Structure 1
């Protein structure tokens, strides 16, 4: 079984977000791995209206800290996890996730959620989990909807 040293948890605000965080924390504890939680605020819907992306990222970080307070507290208090960080960026989701969060961290495991898009919606918008599986050079664990 692989020994993971750097685990990235992709948070998307969907129904699997808490399960993704819980799974990532458990794996980080079991492996003594560094842990980075990352979230991307989709800029596409806001590109034309001059959105304040810094403010959106600050609000997004505060929301994650609140929604995942128990999971983050567990991770931060664990002697087994050397470091825990949460980062939020704004941009086109798949590209920003890969280029600004995943690649600089160089994880050997990515934990993400299954969003459960309908087949027709998937054809048009794609899937972040599929993008990660196909493009990242590390293991990717997709947490299924319960």
Structure 2
């Protein structure tokens, strides 16, 4: 029996994004799990300028589809993975990721990357991976930087 049925991969555009996608894909294939790739566009820098968040999200999906084209093609062609989706939302990163992407999908496992913030940056902005570990009710796998 498969351990995981739904796997969420949190993509952040950082240096670990490809490794996160690959690890999530391998786990989805091994478990026959549904796979959702998700990304949040930080709305805070764009709130005052009247940004079109729907357009930004559509551009975000296109960018991910382009940047991870090989990985996405492989998982979509893999018969062991029943479904693959890419979703992008705009908002405050940690909360939007959890509330709008992860919780509605109800994953058994969340795979995310380590950004490697310096200690001083971590004190001021926190860590999305730490937020997920502390607040989600499922397993969280943090892919370390190479």
Q: TM-score, normalised by structure 1?
A: 0.98
Deviations 1:93-143 (A, max 9, x none): 001000100000000000000000000000000000000000000000000
Contact 2:2 2:32 in 1 (8 A): no
Residue matched to 2:27 = 27
Residue matched to 1:45 = 45
Deviations 1:67-90 (A, max 9, x none): 000110011001000100000000
Residue matched to 2:89 = 89
Segments of 4+ in structure 1 off by > 6 A?
none
For the pair 1:55 / 2:45, whether they are aligned, the reply is no
Q: TM-score, normalised by structure 2?
A: 0.98
Residue matched to 1:17 = 17
In structure 1, C-alpha distance between the alignment counterparts of 2:118 and 2:106, rounded to whole Å? 31
What is the CA-CA distance between 1:2 and the residue it aligns to?
A: 6.9
Aligned pairs for 1:1-146 within 5 A? 3-146=3-146
In structure 1, C-alpha distance between the alignment counterparts of 2:2 and 2:72, rounded to whole Å? 24
What is the CA-CA distance between 1:53 and the residue it aligns to?
A: 0.4
SS of match in other structure, 2:112: strand
Contact 2:19 2:143 in 1 (8 A): yes
Q: What value does the CA root-mean-square deviation take over the aligned residues?
A: 1.0
Question: How many equivalent pairs are there?
Answer: 146
